[in-house]
Chains A and B, each alone.
Chain A
Amino acid sequence: GAGVSQSPSNKVTEKGKDVELRCDPISGHTALYWYRQSLGQGLEFLIYFQGNSAPDKSGLPSDRFSAERTGGSVSTLTIQRTQQEDSAVYLCASSQLAGDYNEQFFGPGTRLTVL
């Protein structure tokens, strides 16, 4: 079956513009995660959706960042008024609900460049 997909694969934008990044998780996976990875750095947790529960937004770096997940499937990460420090690879992952020992499956990422 299809894995996690993300679009666009690359996004170049100007400082101050808004961007939307999309994630399509694996069908049937109820948990969805967004991470940010800067060049040569580790993963920075952003937000976590689990089924119908309230999302864990504790990793969002500022109120310019928001995410939603419609119908328990597709998720969109929105960054408003982008800044140069937002430049990074944004990774989405999904996992099954049944047990917290399930591994996460990652998408290829969206490389965001803010000029």
Chain B
Amino acid sequence: AQSVAQPEDQVNVAEGNPLTVKCTYSVSGNPYLFWYVQYPNRGLQFLLKYITGDNLVKGSYGFEAEFNKSQTSFHLKKPSALVSDSALYFCAVRDRVAAGNNRKLIWGLGTSLAVNP
């Protein structure tokens, strides 16, 4: 079965420190991978995605993520965290060769990031 795991419910980092939000996945084929962010009292926003090519993808607000096929991971990173990065982060995956009902996006349960001043 296809699945996405975000092993940490919450991540706490100090402002200025690097942050990592973890995501691992299980799909039968090669994946498209996404990160979304939900700021407090705001809607979900797309952050970045991996389609093909360079395993390191850069997205909005200084975030980046690295696709690691052997570890089936797509961890979200930022070199220097800001208090304003505090939000709920969701990882999502779609099997690029899936058909029918397996084409929908599979979502992780989310990781709450708290950046402390």
Contact = CB atoms under 8 A, between A and B. Distances in A.
A99 B63 CA distance: 24
Contacts of B45: 106
Contacts, number: 50
Contact of A58 (B96, B101, B105): B101
B51 A101 contact: yes
A101 B32 CA distance: 6
Interface string A48-61: 10100000101000
A72 interface: no
Nearest to B95: A100
Contacts of A48: 103-104
Contact of B109 (A41, A91, A101, A109): A41
B14 interface: no
A50 B101 CA distance: 11
B96 A42 contact: no
A101 B104 contact: no
Interface string A30-70: 00010000000111010010100000101000000000000
B34 interface: yes
Contacts of B103: 48, 50, 56, 100
Q: What class of interface size applies to chain A in its complex with B? A: 20 to 34
A107 B44 CA distance: 8
A91 B96 contact: no
A42 B34 contact: no
A100 B101 contact: no
Contacts of B110: 41-43
Contacts of A100: 32, 94, 96, 103
A103 B108 contact: no
A43 B90 contact: yes
Interface string A96-115: 00001101111111000000
Interface of A: 33, 41-43, 45, 48, 50, 56, 58, 91, 93, 100-101, 103-109
